[in-house]
Amino acid sequence: MKDVISWILRVVAAVILGQTLFFKFSGSEESVALFTQLEMEPYGRILIGVLELIAVILLLIPTSKAYGAVLSTGLMTGALIGHVTKLGFAGEMLSLSILAGIVFASSIALLILHRNEVPILKDLFKAEGQPEL
């Protein structure tokens, strides 16, 4: 059961992150406009794209899913800050912010689900009586 939920969350996050990569890397008009608004064109767009790509890969590989969740939580925190401070929620930005919110929520859920795999927090959540030798 836990596995199924984990896979659903990871696929949802990975698909949403992944489909934007195409727009980011191909320099589509909307994407360029968005990053111009953030004053990050063009390097910021490429940088964020690469980080998102890494997050997608980490999320989909079972042994690194917790690391992927950490990274995508961070990226989505940044995206949401962007919406709050610069991009706003009008028109197309509304759907983009909702997607960012969904990825953020699934990443947080993954972190909670796999809390005993999250770097630097994991040994707090391992069952007592099984110290790591």
Partner 1 sequence: MSKLAVDFHKLSTFTSMSLPLGAIFGFYLGYMVSFYFHFLTVAFLFLFVVDLIYRFGQRRHIILRNFGIIGQGRYLLESVGPELRQYLFANDYEELPFNRSERSEVYRKAQNIDSASSFGTLLQYDAREIKLRHSMYPVSREELKPYALRLGARDGCHEFVLTRPLMISAMSYGALGEHAVRTLARGAKMAGIVMNTGEGGYPKYHLMEGCDLIFQLGTAKFGVRHDDGSLKDTALAELAAEDAIKMIEIKLSQGAKPGKGGLLPKEKITPEISELRGVPMGRDVVSPPHHKECVDAASTVAFIRHVQEVSGVPVGIKMCMGSLDEFRELLVSMKAQQIFPDYISIDGGEGGTGASPKSFMDGFGMPLLPALAGADRILKSEGIRDRMKLFAAGKLINPHRQMVAMAVGADAIYSARGFMLAMGCIQSLQCGNNTCPVGITTHDKVLQRGLVVEARCQRVKNYVELTIHDLEQELIAVGCRSYGELSRRHLFVPHDSILAEEFKVEKSA
In whole angstroms, the minimum distance from the beta carbon of 125 to partner 1 comes to 8
Q: Which stretch binds partner 1 (CB under 8 A): 6-14, 54-62, 73-81, 92-100?
A: 73-81
Burial of 9 (0-12, 13-18, 19+ CB in 10 A): buried
Q: Which of 25, 32, 74, 101 binds partner 1 (CB under 8 A)?
A: 74
131 prior amide bond cis, ω within 30: no
| Among 115, 21, 10, residue whose Cα is nearest residue 72 | 10
78 binds partner 1 (CB under 8 A): yes
Q: How far is the CB of 103 from partner 1 (least distance, A)?
A: 14
